[in-house]
């Protein structure tokens, strides 16, 4: 069996479709005002008809304050360049770290963790902006009803097991408890990993009985 069940949740299921973005010529104060108004940590920077060319974040903007106090940032050429920037095109981080709408939620989470960003512009095949996905958006999968999670575990994991004794599952507050015969112990580590891969599962517990 596959160790990672195919989950129905992709970036398109959780992303925000209404996005605030700026062009290259947006001023420093305009960017700050938009970030404050919309309570976001970063804005995509667009050119042409909506192609994402970069992202300007709170960290990019704070470089202006960072160099004032001296220290390492004052001697960092990248930080100094951002500190002198007046427009989105001069302040942004480029190229933008993006994700596609059909990427899995897990893949988006890995990109955020690896690249240490809080939000990802969602783009199509040619780089046109489709939406934005944030850390809080990715957490929406943990709001799935327990019954829905249990149904997916049965459908995508348990029904595909090559075991002689059927296993059963109960989900409570996102915690999946698998019950079965100790005779199937060999498969349980694989099953547990597969169940953990179902979106919305918080933890997996095993309860094996001896016959």
State whether the Cα torsion 61-65-71-74 is positive or negative: positive
What average pLDDT does this structure show over 150-162? 91
β-strand partners of 169: 178
β-strand partners of 182: none
pLDDT in tens, 90-148: 999 999 999 999 999 989 999 999 999 999 999 999 999 999 999 999 999 999 999 99
In this prediction, residue 67 carries a pLDDT of: 64
Contact (Cβ atoms closer than 8 angstroms) between residue 138 and residue 109: yes
What average pLDDT does this structure show over 55-64? 90
Contact (Cβ atoms closer than 8 angstroms) between residue 138 and residue 25: no
Number of neighbouring beta carbons within 10 Å of residue 207: 10
pTM beyond 0.75: yes
In this prediction, residue 72 carries a pLDDT of: 57
Q: Band of the pLDDT at 149, cuts 50, 70, 90? A: very high
In this prediction, residue 182 carries a pLDDT of: 78
pLDDT in tens, 27-42: 999 999 999 999 999 9
| 174 φψ region: left (φ > 0), alpha (ψ -120 to 50), beta (else) | left
């Amino acid at each position: 069996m596959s160790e990672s069940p195919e989950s129905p949740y992709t970036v398109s299921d959780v992303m925000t479709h209404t996005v605030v973005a700026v062009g290259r010529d947006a001023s420093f104060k305009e960017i700050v005002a938009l970030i404050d108004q919309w309570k976001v940590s970063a804005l995509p920077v667009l050119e042409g008809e909506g192609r994402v060319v970069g992202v300007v974040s709170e960290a990019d903007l704070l470089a202006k304050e960072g160099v004032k106090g001296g220290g390492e940032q004052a001697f960092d050429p990248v930080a100094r360049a951002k500190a002198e920037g007046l427009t989105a095109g001069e302040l942004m981080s480029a190229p933008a770290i993006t994700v596609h709408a059909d990427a899995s939620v897990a893949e988006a989470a890995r990109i955020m963790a690896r690249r240490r960003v809080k939000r990802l512009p969602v783009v199509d095949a040619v780089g046109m902006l489709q939406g934005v996905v944030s850390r809080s958006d990715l957490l929406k999968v943990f709001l799935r009803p327990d019954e829905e999670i249990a149904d997916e575990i049965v459908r995508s994991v348990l029904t595909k097991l090559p075991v002689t004794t059927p296993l059963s599952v109960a989900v409570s507050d996102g915690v999946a408890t698998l019950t079965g015969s100790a005779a199937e112990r060999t498969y349980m580590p694989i099953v547990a990993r597969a169940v953990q891969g179902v979106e919305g599962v918080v933890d997996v517990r095993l309860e094996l009985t001896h016959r």
